[in-house]
Amino acid sequence: MAVDGSLVGRAFPPTRPYRVTDEKVREFAAATGVGWESGDPVPATFPIVLAFDAMNAFLDDVQVELSRIVHGEQKFSYARPIAPGDVLTATLSVASLRQIGGNDIIGTVSEITDDTGAVVCTTSATLVHRAAEVA
């Protein structure tokens, strides 16, 4: 099923506020082989935890199965470093949509804001929604 073209420009509801903790950052860093200690910089790709949450809600909403999604591209632009104690929310919007070879190429932008409403990180993703039948 192709994704509906009218989604372009639509913003999805913000994710519930997420509190960044030392324990979660340590777990994330350890998963990439990094021994993280309190006060160390938070790994650069940590905001994906928020962005992925927003993407899951988006895929549920448009009834796309996660297993049919392959990641095409990801970009992060950071307004400031994330730190434990931050309470963050991601808001995803659909920036572009095109079809190539029966696959949907979905461009999303997720803005990650703190509890003052300030943008902490903007991250864009290209999601390839693979066609159900292999040609």
Which residues sit at the interface with other proteins, rule CB under 8 A?
27-28, 30-34, 40-41, 43-45, 48-49, 52-53, 56, 66-78, 81, 126, 130, 134
Q: Which is nearer to other proteins, 5 or 41 (CB)?
A: 41
Q: Which is nearer to other proteins, 43 or 91 (CB)?
A: 43
User: Per DSSP, what are the bridge partners of residue 87?
Assistant: 19
Q: Which is nearer to other proteins, 66 or 87 (CB)?
A: 66
Residue linked to tokens 């903790």: 21
What's the CA gap between 83 and 42, in Å, rounded? 6
Give the nearest distance from C-beta 63 to other proteins in angstroms. Answer: 16
Residues 108/125, Cβ–Cβ less than 8 Å: yes
- Mention every residue, 6+ apart, whose C-beta is less than 8 A from residue 66: 56, 59
Give the nearest distance from C-beta 124 to other proteins in angstroms. Answer: 8
